[in-house]
Every structure is written in C-alpha cells, then in structure tokens.
C-alpha cells in the first residue's frame, strides 16, 4: 500500500484544492460529476453519498494532463496518486473520459480555456509527465517484430498461477465467467465459472 504524499501547497486563496479539482472535472466532463473529491491537502468537495475520488498527489493531475483518457487515469491509479472509495462502477460512470458524444471539449470558449489552464496550474498539472508506473510494460523495437512481441507477451502473461487463480478462479478456465446471479453476495467467481461451463 502506498502512503499519502506530504501535502503540496495549493495556490488558491478562495477555493480548496478539492473544489478546484471538482471544477476542473466539471469543465472537462461538461457536467457536474456525481462523485466527491478528496485532495492531497485533505480538503473535500462534492455531493455526499457518492463515490470518493481520492486525489493523493498533484501527480494524478499531471498524469491526466499528459494523457487525458483511460491511460492517464490508469497510470494515476496504479502509481497510487489516485484512489477510489465506494462503488467503482458508479465512479467510472461519473468519469466518462472517452465519451464519443462529448464534443464540448473542442468547443471551449476562451474564458473556459483560461479557467481550465488556471485550474490545471493551481492543482499541479503543469510540468513534465510523471514516469509511467513500473508495472507498465515498456517495450522497444520494431512494432510486432518477433522479439518485441515475445517480450510483451512475457510481461503480460508469464505472471504465475497465483495471479491467474485470482481472476479465473480455481477452475483456471481462460474465458469469461457467466455471472448468472450477480446480486447474490454469496455468489463467487467459482460459481460463475461453473455456470459458464454448464451453459456451454
């Protein structure tokens, strides 16, 4: 478990870091996000009873400023700069970073662009991109050459049966489970794998 970084100074006299982050999300998403935000300075903002986006470091903003999509979000999460508390599906639904109907980002008026730039700067998003987390595969060489593909496959798949048992269950059947009773709290991955085999 990664620890919370020491609080960074926040350059806003009138709003907390969490309020700035909430406003930044509103501008980028084109709507008020239905989640709470907690910033590295322990400030919080957003509607009660919604999932919590825990922004533990300005590095999370930098990851997303450099890769404003699922890659930036994943890098911030994997590196420990960003966390989620509450229902993960609700949280992800509130952060539709790749929404094909979202054209407002290209239609920002100059005032919104200026506010967006100021918010990114105040929340620590200006600067070099943080290094990708060490868990991310970095492969070099000619794309889809035999050597590069071998290294990519080895990185992603040669991780041992302990890992695969977590995601496949004891059956170790490498295909999608059939979640016949997803609302039943006693229903397990092994049950879903067995139901998949029965269905097939």
Better-scored residue on pLDDT, 144 or 102 = 144
Strand 82-85, strand 52-55: pairing: antiparallel
pTM summary value: 0.68
Q: Return the DSSP state at 31.
A: S
Q: How confident is the model at residue 92 (pLDDT cuts 50, 70, 90)?
A: confident
Residue 17, Cβ density class (10 Å: 0-12 exposed, 13-18 middle, ≥19 buried): buried
pLDDT one-digit tens code per residue, 23-43: 998 888 888 888 999 999 999
- 173 pLDDT higher than 80: yes
- 108 pLDDT higher than 80: no
Measured between alpha carbons, how far is 26 from 3 in angstroms, rounded to an integer?
28
Q: How confident is the model at residue 9 (pLDDT cuts 50, 70, 90)?
A: low
- 5 pLDDT higher than 60: no
Q: Which pLDDT score, from 0 to 100, does residue 96 have?
A: 67
Measured between alpha carbons, how far is 32 from 22 in angstroms, rounded to an integer?
8
Q: Output the average pLDDT for the chain.
A: 85
- 166 pLDDT higher than 60: yes
Measured between alpha carbons, how far is 58 from 76 in angstroms, rounded to an integer?
10
87 contacts 60 by C-beta, under 8 angstroms: no
Measured between alpha carbons, how far is 60 from 67 in angstroms, rounded to an integer?
11
51 contacts 86 by C-beta, under 8 angstroms: yes
Measured between alpha carbons, how far is 37 from 18 in angstroms, rounded to an integer?
6
pLDDT one-digit tens code per residue, 115-164: 989 999 999 999 999 998 988 877 888 989 999 999 888 888 888 999 99
Q: Which pLDDT score, from 0 to 100, does residue 88 have?
A: 85
Q: Which pLDDT score, from 0 to 100, does residue 12 have?
A: 55
44-48, 52-56, 124-128, 155-159, range with the lowest pLDDT: 155-159
97 contacts 73 by C-beta, under 8 angstroms: yes
Q: Which pLDDT score, from 0 to 100, does residue 40 have?
A: 96
């Amino acid at each position: 478990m990664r620890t919370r970084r020491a609080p960074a100074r926040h350059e806003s006299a009138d709003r907390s870091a969490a309020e700035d982050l909430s406003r930044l999300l509103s501008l980028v998403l084109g709507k008020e996000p239905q989640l709470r935000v907690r910033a590295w300075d322990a400030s919080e903002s957003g509607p009660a009873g919604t999932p919590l986006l825990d922004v533990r470091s300005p590095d999370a903003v930098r990851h997303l400023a450099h890769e404003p999509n699922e890659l930036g979000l994943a890098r911030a999460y994997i590196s420990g700069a960003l966390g989620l508390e509450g229902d993960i599906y609700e949280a992800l639904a509130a952060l539709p970073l790749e929404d094909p109907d979202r054209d407002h980002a290209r239609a920002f008026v100059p005032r919104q662009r200026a506010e967006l730039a100021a918010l990114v700067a105040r929340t620590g998003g200006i600067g070099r991109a943080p290094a990708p987390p060490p868990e991310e595969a970095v492969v070099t060489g000619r794309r889809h050459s035999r050597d590069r593909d071998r290294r990519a496959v080895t990185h992603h798949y040669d991780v041992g049966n302990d890992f695969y048992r977590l995601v496949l269950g004891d059956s170790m059947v490498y295909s999608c489970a059939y979640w016949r009773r997803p609302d039943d709290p006693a229903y397990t991955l092994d049950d879903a794998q067995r139901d998949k085999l029965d269905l097939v």
